[in-house]
Structure 1
Amino acid sequence: MVRYDPVNDPDWRLAKLCDRSGAAMLLDVGANTGQFATRMLRAGIPSIVSFEPLSGPYAKLIGAARGYTQWSVAPRCALGATEGKVEMNIAGNSQSSSLLPMLRRHVEALPNSAYTGTESVHVLRLDDFVETSLAGYDGAFALKMDVQGFEGSVLDGAARTLPRVRVIYTEMSLCPLYEGSPAFIDLYARIVGLGFRCVGVTPGFIDRERWEVLQVDATFVAEGR
């Protein structure tokens, strides 16, 4: 048992960084059933828009957001570089579902994450969504990405939105887990190259048999904006 310190709480730390940066709206990309958004509302985030492509988690997400005036859910979609229809892989644990093929290392570390089927989903560009559905909002954003290796494509479709992003909170892989996903060092360099500075890294997906951290959650803040 240790004394609770909010500085060591990743949710509160992220909320405070968003507040300090003036990012009043969190774009929750890869919301699943709303677990992350629920925690962030408790931490004090004033406004959240969640995105989830799969129909099963999406239905639960709608239910979780019901009753929150500050939490809205976008029409069911994935975010990527180009608009269109694609087949998304459904993982046995739902949280590991991805538009990319899963590699053996992932399944070895978490057997219940193996794919069980696919579902057709619509892909939108974040830029297009912001410029239409959020046209009345002229403030800054925080961007959270939990998209299982599809981070590069989300950024590709957000070129016009990124200048308004003050905080990026993203999952990053320390070893290949999805075919075609960016390596940690490449995604890190890309985000830094966009004018962000890393201010925190928290262990995420851990292989409990090998005692290895496979994914981390990293927080970046914009420099000079």
Structure 2
Amino acid sequence: MQTLYRRLLGLMPRIGVQVTDLGPGTAVVSRRGGAYRVTGADKDTWVLRRTRDAARSEVSEGDAVRLGDTGALLLMETPGGRDERRLQLAAAEYLCTQHVAAMLELYGVNCVFDVGANNGQYARRLRKLGYTGRIASFEPTSETFARLEKAAADDPDWHVYRCGLGREETTAEIHVGWKTMNSLLPASDYGKGRYSRFAKADTEEIRVRRLDEVMTEALDGLADPRPYLKMDTQGYDLEVFAGAGERIAEFVGMQSEVAVLKLYEGSPGMGEAVAVYEAAGFGITGMYPVTREATTGRVIEFDCVMMRADAAPTP
């Protein structure tokens, strides 16, 4: 059953209030150009907070966190018992998606290559953030691809491809049953110690294509292609990148999940991956933690967003 807090958040858009849900008990609520004011917020921001008494909801500034001088406030449902690690990761995901959306708009991106699409979560998020251009999603495993294909069925500018991408055209065995962490690489000892799912040994044969080979098809019909490359392939991003060959120069920006602590055998470290991307002309515009160790606080992986500065619009 939905809590009163959640029902009220759901009603906010009907009265012109934007709600960004960062996870359980945490949201940013704002309204532009409105006549309403709330204690502790500026003229553009509403904050709705559920008190410790779950039976009632009220506005309060006591546990709202001001986000710098932006006028936005972060709303806590039960501040006393919040999980700071989960909160930080949720906030990082929110900031990353907002940053990516801003870069796509700034650079005039009209085709996003969504490599490692899984069920289509990334593409759906782009649509919610207002991106209306083409999306080309790549997912190799049969069961997951079926869900991806269903997700894209009613979106005529969202194209899906059942294949993996890599350095060469081939077939390969991918580890399956690892949920969102299916990989062409075996799990490292560190990965096995962290995730019990890696104990499964099921594999599936998949087709692997080169990125430069699929680009012509994916960009067909675009008069002035300005593509963006997102990679989330569980340790295989550099192989995908290599498969673009000289055509990597056509991408105005990219996004890669880079590892500080390696979950997969043979995967590159963050320094190695970033050096390759920088050598190809991309510069970092944002780094956002994806996962952390609960016991030490160490970041395991970052989402690294990079853009080609010479592709930026002239001021």
TM-score for the superposition, normalised by structure 2: 0.67
Residues 144 and 170, structure 1, Cα contact 8 Å, conserved in 2 = yes
Q: For each residue in 1:3-23, what CA deviation from the matched residue of structure 2 results, as whole angstroms up to 9, or x when unmatched?
A: 26x996321210110111121
Q: Which has the larger radius of gyration?
A: 2
Q: 1:104 aligns with which of 173, 184, 189?
A: 189
Between the two proteins, what is the percent identity of the paired residues? 31
Which moves more between the two structures, 179-188 or 41-50?
41-50
Which moves more between the two structures, 102-111 or 147-156?
102-111
Letter in structure 1 aligned against 2:241: L
Residues 91 and 115, structure 1, Cα contact 8 Å, conserved in 2 = yes
The DSSP-based 3-state class of the residue aligned with 1:215 is strand
Q: What RMSD, in angstroms, separates the aligned Cα atoms of the two structures?
A: 2.0
Letter in structure 2 aligned against 1:57: T
Residues 136 and 218, structure 2, Cα contact 8 Å, conserved in 1 = no
Q: 1:56 aligns with which of 125, 143, 165?
A: 143
The DSSP-based 3-state class of the residue aligned with 2:233 is coil
Residues 175 and 182, structure 2, Cα contact 8 Å, conserved in 1 = yes
Equivalence for 2:128: 42
TM-score for the superposition, normalised by structure 1: 0.92
Q: Point out where structure 2 has 5 or more consecutive residues left out of the alignment.
A: 1-63, 66-72, 75-90
Matched, 1:186 2:236: no
Which moves more between the two structures, 32-41 or 201-210?
201-210
Which segments of structure 1 move beyond 6 Å, counting only runs of 4 or more?
none
> Quick one: distance in 1 between partners of 2:208 and 2:193?
29
Equivalence for 1:161: 247
Q: CA deviation at 1:111?
A: 2.0
Q: CA deviation at 1:145?
A: 0.2
The DSSP-based 3-state class of the residue aligned with 1:58 is helix
- 1 or 2, which has the higher strand percentage? 1
> Quick one: distance in 2 between partners of 1:113 and 1:15?
33
* Matched length: 223
> Quick one: distance in 1 between partners of 2:219 and 2:110?
13
Residues 25 and 45, structure 1, Cα contact 8 Å, conserved in 2 = no
Equivalence for 2:203: 118
Q: Point out where structure 1 has 5 or more consecutive residues left out of the alignment.
A: none
> Quick one: distance in 2 between partners of 1:198 and 1:100?
26
For residues 78-157 of structure 1, the aligned pairs below 5 Å read 78-92=164-178, 94-137=179-222, 138-157=224-243
Q: 2:112 aligns with which of 26, 38, 42?
A: 26
Higher relative contact order (Cα pairs below 8 Å, separated by 6+ residues): 1
